[in-house]
Each structure stands twice: as structure tokens, then as C-alpha cells.
Structure 1
Amino acid sequence: MTAIVNIRPGETGEERFNEFREGQPLKIARARRGFGGFITLDLGDPCEADAVTGDAQWQWHLWIYSCDWDLYLDDARILWRRESDTARASHILSKLEGESLTEIEHDKADDCFVFTFTGGFRLHVDPDFYGYDAGDDLFMLFKHGERDVLSYSPKRRFYKAA
């Protein structure tokens, strides 16, 4: 069970998302495929290494999961959530590294997001896939140094969770 908290009094989830959006362009340091159809992007400035693992950390970490997504290069879909070849997916996602996130569009009517990157890449995020529940999160956005995480679901909208 996740407790909903506001670490900074008065800061809403929408305000945290706007901070992320206003910080653009944000360079992509790492783009990876997780288990199943999950993908993660590390963006922004480098921060100190993780004290436990020694892995590099970045200003922002975007974890896209529990949704349908498609990656486009110009007008061609080059990768999608249901891509079964992990090696191919990892290779394609690595092409995002070094590019920058330049724009985020959010269609509040259908809860779709479009993340636009340099190099002609666009990532479409859509809640409409088999077995989806409106309470499921489309993504989580972690800000380095913060104790909470920003999540988004069609039912809850932007919210911060511990």
C-alpha cells in the first residue's frame, strides 16, 4: 500500500510535473527496457553515485509502465510496448541516449502523453491496453534528492506518493 504524502507543504503533483517540464531541454543519459514492457529514462544533470550500488544517478528518472507506449522516429513506429525481442528493444532505446527531451504534450481528455526528443524521436504513452484499470499509473517520475515520487494515473491524475 502506498501512502500519499506532500513532503513540501503546498507543492502539488501538477507543480512537480511543471518543474520537470520547465527544465527542458533535458539530456537523456540512459534509456533502458525493464521487465516486460517497462522502460526507464535517466535525464538531466549527473548527480553523485548511488551509495549502495555505485551506479550513476541523474537529476530525473522516468519509469514508464502499466500503459501502452510507442516510440517513433519521424513518422515511423520503431518500437512498441509489446516488442518481444529484448536485444532489439535495448538497441533501439539506446539510440535515445545523448538526445534531449524538448517537449511534453498531455491530452487531458484521453490521458495520452507525447514526449518529444531531438533527433526526430517521439514517445507516445497511452493508458488504453488490455487489462488496464484507470487507477493504474502510466508512469512514475523520480527527482534526485526528493523522498517522494510523482505518479500519474487517469483516475488519480498527478499525485505524489511516498
Structure 2
Amino acid sequence: MSSPRERMYKVVMVGDSVVGKTSFILRVCRDEFKPNLNPTIGVDSQVKTFDVDGDMVALQIWDTAGQERFRSIATSYFRRSDGVILLYDVTYEASFLNVRDWITAVEDGAGKKLPIVLCGNKTDLRPTAEKYGKKVISTEAGKKLAKYLASSR
């Protein structure tokens, strides 16, 4: 009986500050939720391992700082990555509007086409935000942007 093979993929998580990148990673990798986290300074990483058809697949997920001053550090990680998760906060319109800028940063930093997964985060907060009259990003708007970006790459 042969032992399962393991493949490691490096995935970089990007998006504006406070969109929930660290919380997303902690939920995926450790099944934890911490409501009060400090902003990421520089980069951090976690590993999540999956069994895919008998083979072990490890995702090394890199958590990058979303602040403008750290973008040059984050872009250096794209060169050696296998893919990107681009997160925006559905209750924070500016983070959605900045998606195109992040895609440009990824493409410029990677020097090659990388798979990019666009993900709307904090959907559980959408009803409360709407109740208080805050502009929210609909699922339909997210899907429309994802289709547009996929067709334009």
C-alpha cells in the first residue's frame, strides 16, 4: 500500500485593511473565531491540509496586511505563489471598489497570471448594516464583478 502524496500550494490572501482576512484564515485553518484581532503587520501564514482523492493537499495561506504602507511587502509574495484569495467586506463599499486595484497589484507583483478567488466576507453583518442604512454589496454585485474580472483577464 502506497502512502498518500502531499502537495503544498502557496495562496496569498489580500484585500483592504479590516475586511476580515485574518479571521477568515483562522476559521479555515483552526476553526476559530476571534472577534477582536489586531491588524496584521507585514505577513503571517497558516497551513490547512485536505485529503483530495487519497492525496494530501496542503494550503499554505499567507495573511497580508491591508494597509497601503505594507502593499509593497505583500506584492513580493505574489511571485512565488500558486494563487490568491481576494477578500472584500460586503458592508464596506470602499473595499469592494478597491478590488480592481488589488487585481492590478497581484498581476504586477506576480509577473504571471495567477488564479484569483474573489470572496465577499462578513455576509452575516449585511442585515444589520442594511437596518442602519449603510450601503452594502449584494451577492449579485459580487458575482457580476467576478464574471467581469474573469472575462477581462
More strand by share: 1
TM-score (norm 2): 0.26
